[in-house]
Structure 1
Amino acid sequence: MKDRSDPPNHVARDRRTSPIDECRSYDFIVCGAGSSGSVVAARLAEDSNASVLLLEAGGDDVSETVSNPGQWPLNLGSERDWAFVGQPAGGLGGRQLSLNMGKGLGGGSSINVMVWARGHREDWNHFAQEAGDEAWGYESVLGYYRRIEDWRGTPDALRRGVGGPVYVAQSQQPQPIARTLVDAAGLLGIPVFDSPNGEMMESAGGAAIADLRVRDGKRQSVFRSYVHRMEAGSNLTVVTHALVTRILIEGRRAVGVEILLNGERRQFRARCETILSLGAIQTPKVLMQSGIGPQAELQAHGIDVIQHLPGVGRNHQDHIAFGCTWAHRKSEAVSAGGCEATLYWKSDARLPAPDILQCQLEFAVPSPAEAEIETPEHGWTMFAGLAQPKSRGRVRLSGRNADDPVLIEPNSLSAEEDMAAAIATVELCRDIGNSSAFDPLVTHEAAPGLRDRAGLIDFIRKSAVSYWHQSGTAKMGQDWMSVVDGQLRVYGIASLRIADSSIMPRITVGNTMAPCVVIGERAADMIAKQHGLSTAAPASAAADANLEPAF
């Protein structure tokens, strides 16, 4: 039998390039072919009676820089990257962060480091509390992960899935530097796990070899896993180079979208629903330029207010990291995308979930120029980061037109708690990296080196970079700052939902690709139920009644 995670060889390219009829309407229009939008579109199209249009602002994913895991850095700053830049941040000494974001089929999953991180149990339980819906809770989400995954590691019938569309595996032979990191963490008393996505995501944290989306040396993007595997000639139409400029609204109902397609303005109508999966920057921009957002800001740009939602663009969150680097004794090999080991831990044992996130890269990453740190020719870097930052930023408009750049205010390290956690994560990273376990592999610590508290704070402010996990700018919840309800429906506007990282009430622990897939699956299930579609069996608690709870 053919492996379900293998896409058919005969998938037609013309689905992405053939002209579309502007006079035609679709049942569903999904905006954005990234880690959530690809899932929503593919799942809805499983019902052959539903017509689905998937719009992507970027181009195709047919490039060696996409398929080859080791070439991901070459996509940064290219046509496959939105290449956003944050506004100067006081917490960073006035520096501006590069906020890279995938642009093209697969979105971030086509240019990222391919780490599969599910989010901590407390993340999903917080989602459920904010939404007022236990279907967002951890026990329910485990059902989704069992449906999603094609896990190729140690079996775990409760927490892992087999035969799903998402191939997940660990490196068969991790590089010595990755295995040494896990061993060094163990020497410090940090628990070591077989995988970061089993019990480790229910505990205080630990260290493990990373789960990756790499198969036979090739990247497995979410688009390839969900959309590309569908039969040619299906009811799913995918259009690239289609920039969504605004939502078409009649009365208080979304009826479609306006786009720029190869420079031409066109409109497409949705009979049932329009779904925004444009990411934490473009989603709030399109909402605001469509008249949905903070009244004062819209009026300042001459935009008619259709629905006053003060939370649009607010609650911006991101994982911030500080590169700690060591020099190798000799040049060492790099596997996959260079990230094979990861660590989550608490800066304070009283915290409900890890607030420290560390991912190892098997090469030396240059520090920002402001840090004035020399990068060794051969080395490795641990990105010591904040898993649960308390700082909140904002996304604002600079104008009412599609080509007016969005203004991103990350506000990084503005919260006092974040600096305390930053110091803790860098100190822990140094303790691990300077362990005797690394003596056979490294010569010395290149960054940050021994510093007093003031020097360490200076290093943190000058070396901070983004993990590119922007989230939260159209959050799910029930308070006055919420933009969508527990069903991901935009408050005050019928037939409009959001399914991407912008709906996160708070950012999840770890890389955000896997949670975005869950968000896409949840959205598809809710839409399918409302409209009577026949899709994959829901990941319900009833379907998994034979399994014991995880907690």
Structure 2
Amino acid sequence: MMSRSIADSRSWAHTLITPLCETVNRMSEDLGSRIRANQEKLSAELKSCYDFIVCGSGSSGSVVARRLAENPDVNVLLVEAGGNDDTPNVMKASLWRTNLASERDWNFQAQPNAHLNGRSIPMNMGKVLGGGSSINAMSWVRGHKTDWDFFASETDDMAWNYESVKRIYRRIEDWSGEPDTEHRGTGGPVFVSPAHLQPIGSAMCESARSMGIPTFENLNGRMMEGEGGCSAGEFRIQDGRRLSIFRSYTFPYMDRPNLTVLTHATVTRLILEGKRTCGIEIAYKSKVRRIGGLEVVLALGAINTPKLLMQSGIGDQSELQRLGIPLVQHLPGVGQNFQDHLTFANCMWECQQPVGESGNVAQAILFWKSDPSLETPDVQIFQRLQVQASADSMTMVPILVRPKSRGHLRLTGANPLDPIEIHANIFGDPGDLKAVTTAIELCRDIADSDVFRPFLKREITPGPLKGSALEQIVRNAVSTIWHQSCTAKMGRDPMSVVDSRLKVYGIDNLRIADASIMPRISTGNAMAPCVIIGERCAEILKADYL
């Protein structure tokens, strides 16, 4: 029988917590009501000119808009082509896959690829408040130390190096795992929690350790400063709910009179006077509107940002002439240097006994090298558990995070509604195919260790294939995890599009803040680096204007 003291304690706790929860819920409802009323008013009374216009509400744009709107004297317009994120498909973390190929997805498709036996693969990208952070798998991966140091070396700007960026990460994080004061922060807007490892998840870390791959206390600390390792996954999930960057940054400020969030508004062109950006043209409510701005920030993602630049006359001169688009600024790097993370999601094992569903997100995550001569990891492997009618299964998903292949984008017409061609060029460099097949073998080595014997019964797919047979399976099944990047890169060479302060070369009052500015793709999922890009852009704008 429950002791009286325990029963009294529980009764006291219930008496205290119940009204507290009710108060929190009422406060949330009140904020939601204020936001709806305020945004309806602001949208109905659109200004002809704003101080700052941010195009795209994804993992970078949401950050820029929030940081600028923190100054009550600044008027900010945040423009989003998609609609509201307030739907269970977005909010409930376990439903994240239902957003792919929905109305919340741009539904881009890459061109047929001879290296993939002629296949054309989907290039999903968020078209909703929150952008990719509202439809992705919510994984929080900061990128490797060498990524940020490379950004700094390419721009000759130490504000982009690892130590500088680590300070930003510590400032914005609200880390709920074991304390790591050197690397992790608490109290910031970005709640991050480690995955709760089931025994089979811990087995992956133990198996990796038995193979000489170190394990770490958390994914985004020491582990991403060296040659790699294994740790529990980290996610932007709380109580089963997605925490998009939009919800963490922008939403709490939408009851303010100086932040207008305009949905279902597609940016069609930049308004330019000579080499100066004066605003944007949007398609909104079946009309074309022109809105002026002191500074325009493009955060439309690595496909739509270069598309808008080219259709506004900023890009390679010969390409623009081909379509009859008047040249404003010759920047041959616009739409070039396309990079993405490749994945082979078909490494699956049948489990000996039932396992708990991991909600299509990772248990353990490993970063390692496909070639021992590499100094830093080029492969990411995450472990996923699935409850199935026939037998529960474990999947290991190898991802190539340092691809050598480079693709490009190409306009099909001068009209903003004309589609864009995505030449992803997956496996254009044969080294990428070798790295993926090596990563599959690494998955097998991990699963075949003694540690996994109590958990796994047999390999289901791809089966006992090697050599050219395995390569054919990979060509027929490899896909992307939708981290399109690098198509308007930051740097100092002739193919660079923006400088270290994210200004578009040759154009005044125009900056880019999204994954397209990466000189090379980051090691791991792109959401966290995009938040840093947004924070850096906001810092720069505040220093220049506020």
Q: TM-score normalised to the size of structure 1?
A: 0.91
CA distance, structure 1, for counterparts of residue 397 and residue 37 of structure 2: 41
SS of corresponding position for 2:386: coil
User: In the alignment, is residue 322 of structure 1 matched against residue 344 of structure 2?
Assistant: yes
Describe how 1:58-97 pairs up with structure 2 within 5 A: 58-97=82-121
After superposition, residues 164-243 of structure 1 pair within 5 angstroms as 164-171=188-195, 173-230=196-253, 232-243=255-266
- Is it true that 1:353 corresponds to 2:376 in the alignment? yes
Which stretch of the first structure deviates more once superposed, 324-333 or 344-353?
324-333
Deviation at 1:403, TM superposition (A): 1.6
Residue deviations 1:346-387 (CA, integer Å, cap 9, x gap): 12233232111112222389xxxxxxxxx9763232211111
> In terms of mean alpha carbon deviation, does 398-407 or 173-182 score higher?
173-182
2:360–2:386 CA contact under 8 A, matched in 1: no
**Identity fraction in percent:** 49
CA shift digits 1:430-465 (9 cap, x unpaired) = 111222322333321112222231112112211201
SS in 2 for 1:317: coil
Aligned residue in 2 for 1:295:
317
Contact 1:142 1:159 (8 Å CA) reproduced = yes
Which range moves more in the overlay, 323-332 or 105-114? 323-332
Give the direction of change, closer, same or farther, for the CA distance of 1:17–1:352 in structure 2 (3 Å limit): farther
SS, match of residue 279 in structure 2: strand
Q: Is the 8 A contact 2:158 2:164 kept in 1?
A: yes
Matched residue of 1:228: which SS?
helix
Distance in 2 (CA, whole Å) between partners of 1:511 and 1:376 is 32
Residue type of the alignment partner of 1:240:
T
What is the SS of the residue equivalent to 2:344?
strand
Among residues 122, 125, 141, which one is paired with 2:165 in the alignment? 141
Deviations 1:113-148 (A, max 9, x none): 111000000000000011110110001001110111
More deviation, 301-310/335-344: 335-344
Distance 1:477 1:352 in 2: 23
Q: Which residue of 1 aligns with 2:517?
A: 503
Indicate whether 1:157 and 2:181 are aligned.
yes
CA distance in 2, matches of 1:453, 1:336: 33
In structure 2, list runs of 5 or more residues that go unmatched: 1-19
Code of the residue aligned with 1:147 in structure 2: it is R
- After TM superposition, give the deviation of residue 159 of structure 1 in Å: 1.1
Q: Structure 1 pair 212/527, CA: closer, same or farther in 2 (3 Å)?
A: same
CA distance in 2, matches of 1:8, 1:135: 37
Q: Where is the helix percentage greater, Structure 1 or Structure 2?
A: 2
SS in 1 for 2:476: helix
Q: Whole-Å Cα distance in 2 between the matches of residues 273 and 508 of structure 1?
A: 27
CA distance in structure 2 between the partners assigned to 1:364 and 1:129 by the alignment = 46
Structure 2 residue aligned with 1:98 = 122
2:69 is matched by which residue type in structure 1?
A
Query: Cα 1:137–1:376, aligned 2, differ >3 Å: closer, same or farther?
Result: farther
Equivalent residue number for residue 396 of structure 1? 410
Once the two structures are superposed, the pairs formed by residues 522-537 of structure 1 within 5 Å of their partners are: 522-532=536-546
Distance 2:296 2:78 in 1: 10
Question: Which residue identity is paired with 2:541?
Answer: I
The answer to which of 247-256 and 439-448 deviates more is 439-448
Give the structure 2 partner of residue 371 of structure 1: none
Give the drift of 1:158: 1.8
Q: 1:234 to 1:168 in 2, by over 3 A?
A: farther
Q: SS of the residue aligned with 2:499? A: coil
Q: Partners of 1:302 and 1:376 in 2: how far apart? A: 58
1:104 and 1:295 map into 2 onto residues whose CA distance is: 33
Q: Secondary structure at the match of 1:395?
A: strand
1:337 Cα offset (Å): 4.3
Residue 214 of structure 1 contacts residue 336 of structure 1 at CA under 8 Å; is this kept in 2?
A: no
Counterparts in 2 of 1:484-503, with a 5 A limit?
Answer: 484-503=498-517
Alignment partner, residue 306 of structure 2: 284
The separation in 2 between residues aligned to 1:386 and 1:214, in whole angstroms, is 25
Asked if 1:112 corresponds to 2:136, the answer is yes
Q: In terms of mean alpha carbon deviation, does 198-207 or 153-162 score higher?
A: 153-162
In 1: Cα distance, 2:199 partner to 2:106 partner: 35
Match of 2:481 among 442, 460, 467: 467
For 1:322, give the aligned amino acid.
F
Q: Which moved more, 1:233-242 or 1:197-206?
A: 233-242
Check conservation: 1:469, 1:512, Cα contact below 8 A.
yes
Q: Which amino acid aligns with 1:328?
A: C
Check if 1:340 corresponds to 2:363: yes
Secondary structure, aligned partner of 2:45? coil
Asked if 2 retains the 8 angstrom alpha-carbon contact of 1:114 and 1:337, the reply is no
Tell me, what secondary structure is at the counterpart of 1:361? strand
Q: Is 2:354 the counterpart of 1:308?
A: no
Q: Displacement, 1:16?
A: 4.6
* Structure-1 separation of matches of 2:289 and 2:254: 27
Aligned-partner Cα distance in 2 for 1:354–1:415: 18
Query: Partner of 2:17 in structure 1?
Result: none
User: 1:337–1:225: structure 2 CA closer, same or farther, 3 Å change rule?
Assistant: farther
- More deviation in 100-109 or 8-17? 8-17
Q: Residues of 1 paired with 2:124 and 2:109: CA distance?
A: 8
Call closer, same or farther: CA 1:25–1:411 in 2, change over 3 Å: same
Residue aligning to 1:480: 494
Task: Give, in angstroms, the shift of residue 43 of structure 1.
Answer: 0.3
| Counterpart-to-counterpart distance in 1, 2:123 and 2:338 | 12
State the superposition RMSD in angstroms. Answer: 2.0
What is the DSSP-based 3-state SS (H/G/I as helix, E as strand, rest coil) of the residue aligned with 1:362? strand
Where does structure 1 lack aligned partners over 5 or more consecutive residues?
A: 366-374, 533-551
Answer yes or no: is the 8 Å Cα contact 2:39–2:255 preserved in 1: no
Distance 1:154 1:83 in 2: 39
Task: Work out the CA distance in 2 between the residues paired with 1:509 and 1:87.
Answer: 25
| Counterpart secondary structure, 2:365 | strand
Asked if 1:406 is matched to 2:420, the reply is yes
Cα distance between partner residues in 2 of 1:332 and 1:519: 38
Flag the 1:231–1:282 CA change in 2: closer, same or farther, 3 A. closer
The higher-RCO structure (CA 8 Å, 6+ apart) is 1
Structure 1 residue 443 and structure 2 residue 464: aligned?
A: no
Instruction: Report the AA paired with residue 457 of structure 1.
Output: E
- Give CA deviations for 1:161-197 in whole Å, capped at 9, x if unaligned: 11110000113x3333322222221222211111110
